[in-house]
Amino acid sequence: MRLFRRKSAAPPPADQQAERDIKAWAAAAPARHQEFLRKSEEAARRVAETADPQATYEAAVDFCTLAAEHSLAQSEASDLAYIWPSLTDGMDAPGTGGEEADAAAAAEMKRAANEWLSALSDPQARAEYLKRWSAQLMGDPD
């Protein structure tokens, strides 16, 4: 009969495990970013290809949701999470609405979506898109 139990390997200290988790998360960042870009392409295409203002708005809200879901991990998504809700405000903010206003807001969303699709394959073009749209929505003419 054994008087002592064999010790099992102790789990690593919490700080070592946290460091491993952080490294694994960072290593997966490029793949997550590519997945976000693919999904953003699909979302922008839906905005660009819709036929009526309400469908454009609904697709733009989906784009907002996608950007918000990825905003903590992706700086581009964070910027898009600012831009796209501002674009949808043209249809859902208090005091907006009406057929002409909705059509104008939908046209602006389509323009933003088409520009994103054009910039998608080039990191510099994406950065310029984000800078331009952020400035425009803040009222900066440059």
For the chain, the structural domain boundaries read: 30-137
- 53-103: per-residue pLDDT in tens? 999 999 999 999 999 998 877 788 889 999 999 999 888 887 777 888 899
Residue that the structure tokens 């309400």 belong to: 54
The CA-CA-CA angle for residues 38, 34, 39, to 5°, reads 25
Instruction: Note the pLDDT of residue 110.
Output: 97
Instruction: Note the pLDDT of residue 48.
Output: 97
**pTM, two decimal places:** 0.75
- 8-39: per-residue pLDDT in tens? 666 667 777 777 766 776 676 678 888 989 99
How many C-alpha atoms does 62 have within 13 Å on its Cβ side?
18
Asked whether residue 142 carries a pLDDT value surpassing 60, the answer given is no
Of 20 and 114, the one with more pLDDT = 114
Residue 103 to residues 57, 60, 73, 109: CA-CA distances in angstroms?
Answer: 10, 14, 33, 10
Instruction: Note the pLDDT of residue 75.
Output: 84
Q: DSSP code of 6? A: P
Lowest mean pLDDT among 23-27, 43-47, 56-60, 130-134: 23-27
Structure tokens at 112: 């933003």
From 42, 53, 120, 118, select the one nearest 87 (Cα to Cα): 53
Instruction: Note the pLDDT of residue 53.
Output: 94
